[in-house]
Amino acid sequence: MAKATSISMSVIRRLPRYYRFLGDLERKGITRISSAELSDLLGLTASQIRQDLNCFGGFGQQGYGYSVKQLREEIMKILGLDHPSDAILIGAGNMGRALVGQLDFAGRGVRLIAVFDNDPALFGRRIGDYTVRSMDELDEFCKGSSPKMAVVAVPRDNAPEVVDRLLALGIRAFWNFSHYDIPSADTNVIVENVHLGDSLMTLSYRMKAEASSKL
Amino acid sequence: MAKATSISMSVIRRLPRYYRFLGDLERKGITRISSAELSDLLGLTASQIRQDLNCFGGFGQQGYGYSVKQLREEIMKILGLDHPSDAILIGAGNMGRALVGQLDFAGRGVRLIAVFDNDPALFGRRIGDYTVRSMDELDEFCKGSSPKMAVVAVPRDNAPEVVDRLLALGIRAFWNFSHYDIPSADTNVIVENVHLGDSLMTLSYRMKAEASSKL
């Protein structure tokens, strides 16, 4: 993995998409694919794809294309999906429940090990394979299990306090659904903010631009 | 809006972020901001910001910076947020409920007008301001109200059938949480896929790359 730190973030951000599409191909029983076919599928140029994959040593053979299985496995290793990190989920509301119910954490390189909430009505309730714990147990749990990642699915107003507590407990990576911008001036702290509202605004814009181009 | 179609998608995708940060500044009572300050805040170069905003005619005055309120209003108009589009939500499970509960649709240019599900146990239940309707009512509702956008928050296996039905009913824009790739070969159909798993994989990678760079 040490070498991987030199790969640009724009390449890294495309890898999960490659990984996902290659998984679809594997499920369909397709074993080989050319960069031209990958290009059609992904909406990227074939040269872009060759460039991206060359960053990791280039698995393709001229004229033979890529082995779907091998390429997918290499990307899996580059993304570190074979060595999952422990994470905790803070917030067992609708968003937290939707994430636990719909997302294959393990397949994305993350082992979810506990779920916390501050609402006594939820303590002890089951969410998938997890039992909701009280935030009062957070410190002891983190000292025992040392998770390094947290999924923050709490309301915006609660987020600053929750994040401060998690930082003090050694959490260094945040998957953030709270709409509170976690300060990331500290370069040891890694944040992926999920801003669903931005995605909705973009869709709204594209729809109107499309309609007006027809006038 | 007709002119806006010529603006590149990469600029458009940055606008919601500008809009969000300008809203935060307004709430803090800040009235003017320089491109250098915006640059610090957004993590973009000042020249990138000037370039982006020049696409729309350039609202800044040399030496005076931008009026936060005016800039935010202009971006609001460019994104068409002042003319909301009608949308329906398909799927009243955890994800659907999380979206209705946490997202300010109206502030993002979308007027959510109805919620549908195929689970009889949910029919008639309240979600925020909405009453869950049966999918049996979908055709009649769409013929009467003509929504052009749908939020698809159904399981992947149900998605192809749901999407086909929505297309037949005249829906042309999809905000897609189903993990099913909606075919967008038809250029009249606009899709924003939300792939939460991709975001999680990226975080997982960045955390490991960060840790290994310290070895």
CATH number for the domain spanning B148: value is 3.40.50.720
Q: What is the pLDDT at residue A4? A: 45
Reading the block at residue B200, the tokens are: 């999680």
Q: What is the pLDDT at residue B196? A: 92
Candidates A204, A213, A215, partner chain B, best to mutate (most B CBs within 10 A): A204
Picking from B81, B95, B194, the nearest residue to A199 by CB comes out as B194
Which range, A5-19, A189-203, B72-86, B110-124, is most confident?
B110-124
Give a yes or no: residue B145 inside a domain: yes
Whether B63 shows a pLDDT value over 90: the answer reads no
Q: What is the pLDDT at residue B112? A: 97
| B126 lies within 8 A of chain A by CB | no
Interface predicted TM-score (ipTM) over 0.85: yes
Residues A161-213 have pLDDT tens digits of: 999 999 999 999 999 999 888 876 666 899 998 989 999 999 998 888 877 77
Reading the block at residue B48, the tokens are: 């990138």
| B110 lies within 8 A of chain A by CB | yes
Give a yes or no: residue A207 inside a domain: no
Across the interface, whether the CB atoms of B198 and A16 are under 8 A apart is answered yes
Q: Residue A111's beta-bridge partner residues?
A: A86
Give a yes or no: residue A33 inside a domain: yes
Query: Do residues A42 and A143 share a domain?
Result: no
Q: Nearest CA of chain A to the CA of B58: how many Å?
A: 20
Give me the residue label for tokens 């009608």. B86
Residues of A in contact with B18 (CB under 8 A): none
Low-confidence stretches of chain A (pLDDT beneath 70): 1-6, 56-63, 184-187, 214-215
In this predicted model, which residue has the larger pLDDT, B12 or A183?
Answer: B12
| Main-chain phi, psi angles of B117, to 5 degrees | -150, 160
Burial class (CB in 10 A: 0-12, 13-18, 19+), A32: middle
Q: What is the pLDDT at residue B14? A: 87
Produce one character per residue of A139-177: b if its CB has 16 or more CB atoms within 10 Å, e if not: eebbeeeebbbbbbbbbeebbeebbebbbebebbbbbbb
Last residue of a domain, which of B36, B51, B77? B77
Q: Give the three-state DSSP class for B144.
A: helix
Query: Do residues A109 and A187 share a domain?
Result: yes
Q: Average pLDDT, stretch B90-115?
A: 94
Separation between Cα atoms, residue B184 and residue A174, nearest integer Å: 33
Query: Do residues A54 and A107 share a domain?
Result: no
Give a yes or no: residue B203 inside a domain: no
Whether B76 shows a pLDDT value over 50: the answer reads yes
Count how many domains chain B has: 2
Q: B residues 14-73 near A, CB within 8 Å?
A: 15-17, 19-20, 24
Report residue B186's pLDDT band, with 50, 70 and 90 as the boundaries. Answer: low
Last residue of a domain, which of B42, B77, B112? B77
Give a yes or no: residue A123 inside a domain: yes
Give a yes or no: residue A177 inside a domain: yes
Distances (CA, A) of B55 to A165, B9, B49, B76: 42, 12, 10, 15
Q: Give the three-state DSSP class for B154.
A: coil
In this predicted model, which residue has the larger pLDDT, B60 or B52?
Answer: B52
In this predicted model, which residue has the larger pLDDT, B14 or B9?
Answer: B14
A35-42 and A46-54 are packed helices; what angle lies between their axes, rounded to 10 degrees? 110
First to last CA, chain B: 53
Residues 6+ apart with CB under 8 A from B178: B152, B153, B154, B155, B156, B158, B159, B162
Q: What is the pLDDT at residue A120? A: 97
Query: Do residues B51 and B150 share a domain?
Result: no
**Residue A30 belongs to what domain range?**
4-77
Tell me which of A81-95, B156-170, B187-201 is least confident.
Answer: B187-201
Separation between Cα atoms, residue B86 and residue A180, nearest integer Å: 28
Last residue of a domain, which of A14, A47, A77? A77
Burial class (CB in 10 A: 0-12, 13-18, 19+), A203: buried
Give a yes or no: residue A210 inside a domain: no
Q: Nearest CA of chain B to the CA of A195: how many Å?
A: 9
Q: What is the pLDDT at residue B55? A: 75
